Structure 1
Amino acid sequence: MSSISTRLALMFGLSVALIVSVCAVVLQGSLKDSLQQQMHNELELRHSLLDPLLMSRESRGSWLKVVDKLSAMAPDDGPDALHWVISDDPFYSYGGPAPFGVDWNRVPDGFSILPPQKGCCPLNVLITTIPPAGSRPALRFVVALDSTPYMKTLGDFTHNLTAISIAGTLLVALLGYGIARLGLWPVRRLSSQAHGLAPGDTGQRLDTARLPPEIRDLAVSFNGVLARQEVAWRQLESFNADVAHELRTPLTNLMGQTQMGLAVGQDVQEFKELLQSNMEELERMTSIVNDMLFLSHAQVGRMAMDLSEISLREEAQKTTEYVEPLFVEKDLTITLQGDARALADRRLFHRALANLLENAACHADVRSEVTIDMESRDGKAYLSVSNVGQPIDPQHLPRLFERFFRAESSRSQSDRHHGLGLSIVKAIAVIHQGDVFVRSEDGVNTFGFWILAQSST
């Protein structure tokens, strides 16, 4: 594909060629009309000078003076000016035979253009009729001009105009190419910067300080892509480290327990206990892998498909029955407030709410109340789970729904919670075209999500 500079030069050249062609046609037409008018004026001038002479000669004796006058004018004018006097009486005729193929009787009075003769251009003629006087019969006086000199002027003008137009078009195309190359210099410099970005250095950015506004917007957008890529890369590094940490513990336990079981002779009951412990570690690893697979599916833009109209309150009651054992351990009570209707996948909704309730049960104060609030507002169905507990540091709030993130500085509870519960809640909200929110105010921590509410129609 040709470069932008070449295409711009071609467009400049074609534009100029079109404009110049139109102007050339107009100028040539104007010159042609002007030359035609000059020939008409010349013919009229000659008639104005000679017609009175012909009218004043009424006898044969005086007619000879007309012949002498016309004969005297012919050598001075050259072959471009010709005169004929047409009469039924040969004595009063002048000029010899008519041009080849011309019958004067068929040519009307006034201006006419006769066919071109061999070696010359068409003849422009003006014919007038001289009425009879005395012994002189009626006459037809013909003055003809050879248009060859005029057409040569027109031809020379056309040739020069064509040459100038072609030269001008080429010059504009070359100048346009140079201007385009100069104008696109910031693009080449930007491209050079982009090629100079070293792989692996996520902090690099394009220099936008000296770029023109049109290119600066592109560079700023590209820098935005680099910034998002840097964030994604850091998240991936953190995610890989967290996955390695989460899987390392159960793998270490499995290896240690298995080595101990192989090294020390044990009875059947001890081997059963060892296998049971290994099964728990394997189930934990399976849970981590399944949750990671679910999050990867949600991240690539999968939308919830098995949608149905549900009552958030009715589905919440079913979920609380499922997680009730977690609340019994800490003597917690659950209160449901409000209701809302929405289009949602029941299975995913229960999973999201169960994760929020498990999070609340884990961090709520003993013998406190956990509240589930539901409401419809601005076309959205909101669900939140609130519990009384230790306040959350404000700097941690934006990251609580990230994978493997824990607000605690230690991982003392990593054997029970692998840090993907809240991430799954966010993924479920996103695939329902919703989002999550979190608040920590006055000793009450609130986690929730919203999805699109069911229309009332």
Structure 2
Amino acid sequence: MKHLSLTARMSLMFMLAVTVVLTVAGLSFNHLSQRHFESLDYQVLVEKLESTQSILQRLPSVTNMAGLKPQLNALLGAHRDLAAIILDSEGQVLFAEPAMVNVPQGLRVRSAPTMWEWQDQAVMYRGLTAEINIPGLAAPLTLLLVLDVTHHMAFFEALQRWFTIGLVISALVSAALGWVVARSGLSPLWQVTQMAASMSAKSLKERIPMEPVPMELQQLMASFNAMLARLDEAFVRLSNFSADIAHELRTPVSNLTTQTEVVLSRRRDIGAYEETLYSNLDDLNRMSRIIDDMLFLAKADNGLIVTQREQVQLEKIVDKLFDYYQLAAEDRGLSLKASGDGGVLGDVLMLDRAISNVLSNALRYTPRGNTVTVNITQTSAATTLSVENPGEMIPAEHLKRLFDRFYRVDPARREGGPSNVGLGLAITRSIVEAHRGRIWCTSAGGLTAFHMEFPRSAKA
């Protein structure tokens, strides 16, 4: 059954349910009908028994039995399926009407008024055996009342036969109806199947309408639509990423091609060739940095970044980076300030790279004469490092996209050297997430701040 379709399974279960219900109903009806007929037969026998007893009570002696025959015939003859046998104490037949029925000896000696059943070949009998005490007789008489119920048995056999035929027909009809109902009920699933089969990069914006979907399938349809939305977003980001990386690589490749063509257009001295090679080296370094960053992000996307777990004091990394960026800050007329301390469990080289990316970004966009501040705070649950700098505010709609690859608030700006290709913040986010942390940006009140939060280690 595991290879059957969902429609076939539901049809079979529907057929099975209908068959079970009809079978239980049929068996119950058959049982109740048999009990009803038995009750009617017992009632007839008891009535005839009481009437026969009343007639026999007027019998003065056994020799006067012939005088009661007209009354007994009138009483018993009204029921053509009923036979009566009266026996004396010696077992001799005193009366048999309408004909002698060969009742087994074991049924002739019962005294309790309980109905018995007996079958003779194809004929079915029900009867009562009773002893009748008559005044003036030393021994009681035995009365046998025998009712032919063969027609009852024939009725039940026909009923069972037609019930079996009806059960088979009902099972087949219920299976067909179950198939139709299941196909109709599962039509939203067919719609999903058809949409999934026809899905392409150009149809990711299509959605399944929720109005006609049954309540039981709305969660499934909502999940499918949400998956399409995620795929559409991922495809758009991938397309933009491909276009951005092509643009970033096209510039150094174009520079290399142009410079090389110019140098090779005519013979030049050694100094011109050296100058061209140095210029080409800058572009090659830029391309190499882009490729390295992209490989790092690809590993991060696939969970392949393995961090070295050791106790790292963030204030030591900040002090080291301040020494590194001190000359660059002085050239821009900026000052650096740090406060607080805290430790995390992580990879010191990766954390150094993440903080360096954010710090260099702050130095690049801070106006001359201002201060870039690094604050480290910690609580019982987390350690947070924030890099703040005054400057132009970032609109709220750009804050969440700052960590996308190659994203810039102003696409026309291409500041910085070969390393500034729009991947720094994306790499920083990957490093922070690899340390089970989170990063976000705030920009308000003349200050822009990048916050990195890490789970606090037990040793910190």
Q: TM-score, normalised by structure 1?
A: 0.85
Secondary structure of the equivalent of 2:403?
coil
Please state how far the C-alpha of 1:11 moved relative to its aligned partner: 2.8
Secondary structure of the equivalent of 1:446?
strand
Segment of structure 1 superposing worse, 353-362 or 369-378 = 369-378
Which amino acid counterpart does residue 342 of structure 2 have in structure 1? A
Secondary structure of the equivalent of 1:418?
coil
Match of 2:84? 83
Match of 2:23? 21
1:422 to 414, 418, 425: 425
Q: Does the C-alpha gap of structure 1 residues 41 and 249 become closer, same or farther in structure 2, counting only changes over 3 Å?
A: same
CA distance in 1, matches of 2:367, 2:299: 35
* Contact 1:323–1:354 (8 Å) recurs in 2: no
2:453 aligned with 1:450: yes
Secondary structure of the equivalent of 1:150?
helix
Secondary structure of the equivalent of 2:253?
helix
Please state how far the C-alpha of 1:208 moved relative to its aligned partner: 4.3
Please state how far the C-alpha of 1:182 moved relative to its aligned partner: 4.0
Q: Does the C-alpha gap of structure 1 residues 372 and 72 become closer, same or farther in structure 2, counting only changes over 3 Å?
A: same
Match of 2:384? 382
* Contact 1:124–1:144 (8 Å) recurs in 2: yes
Secondary structure of the equivalent of 1:134?
coil
Q: Does the C-alpha gap of structure 1 residues 360 and 57 become closer, same or farther in structure 2, counting only changes over 3 Å?
A: same
* Structure 1 segment 405-444 matched on structure 2, within 5 A: 405-408=407-410, 409-411=412-414, 413=416, 415-444=418-447
CA distance in 2, matches of 1:226, 1:98: 86
Q: Per-residue displacement from partner, 1:14-42 (whole Å, max 9, x unpaired)? A: 22222222222222111111111111111
CA distance in 2, matches of 1:58, 1:306: 122
Structure 1 residue runs of 5 or longer lacking an equivalent are none
Q: Per-residue displacement from partner, 1:327-357 (whole Å, max 9, x unpaired)? A: 3433543222122333322221111001111
* Contact 1:131–1:137 (8 Å) recurs in 2: yes
Match of 1:116? 119
CA distance in 1, matches of 2:137, 2:224: 103
Segment of structure 1 superposing worse, 202-211 or 147-156 = 202-211
Match of 2:347? 345
2:55 to 44, 47, 53: 53
* Contact 1:374–1:384 (8 Å) recurs in 2: yes
Q: Per-residue displacement from partner, 1:197-228 (whole Å, max 9, x unpaired)? A: 67525544444455555555544443433333
Please state how far the C-alpha of 1:420 moved relative to its aligned partner: 0.9
Q: Does the C-alpha gap of structure 1 residues 305 and 412 become closer, same or farther in structure 2, counting only changes over 3 Å?
A: closer
CA distance in 2, matches of 1:69, 1:118: 32
* Contact 2:329–2:363 (8 Å) recurs in 1: yes
Q: Does the C-alpha gap of structure 1 residues 54 and 393 become closer, same or farther in structure 2, counting only changes over 3 Å?
A: closer
* Contact 1:355–1:421 (8 Å) recurs in 2: yes
* Structure 1 segment 200-279 matched on structure 2, within 5 A: 200-208=202-210, 211-215=213-217, 217-260=219-262, 262=264, 264-265=266-267, 271-279=273-281
Which amino acid counterpart does residue 299 of structure 2 have in structure 1? H
CA distance in 2, matches of 1:76, 1:442: 114
* Contact 2:84–2:95 (8 Å) recurs in 1: yes
Q: Does the C-alpha gap of structure 1 residues 109 and 416 become closer, same or farther in structure 2, counting only changes over 3 Å?
A: closer
CA distance in 2, matches of 1:224, 1:245: 31
Segment of structure 1 superposing worse, 281-290 or 271-280 = 271-280
Match of 2:106? 103
Match of 2:136? 134
Structure 2 residue runs of 5 or longer lacking an equivalent are none
Match of 1:42? 44
Which amino acid counterpart does residue 85 of structure 1 have in structure 2? I
**Identical counterparts, % of pairs:** 26
CA distance in 2, matches of 1:42, 1:209: 66
Q: Per-residue displacement from partner, 1:156-195 (whole Å, max 9, x unpaired)? A: 3434444444444444444444344444455555666666
* Contact 1:59–1:136 (8 Å) recurs in 2: no
* Contact 1:89–1:137 (8 Å) recurs in 2: no
Match of 1:364? 366
CA distance in 1, matches of 2:220, 2:277: 60
* Contact 2:89–2:142 (8 Å) recurs in 1: no
Secondary structure of the equivalent of 2:383?
strand
Secondary structure of the equivalent of 2:385?
strand
* Contact 1:60–1:136 (8 Å) recurs in 2: no
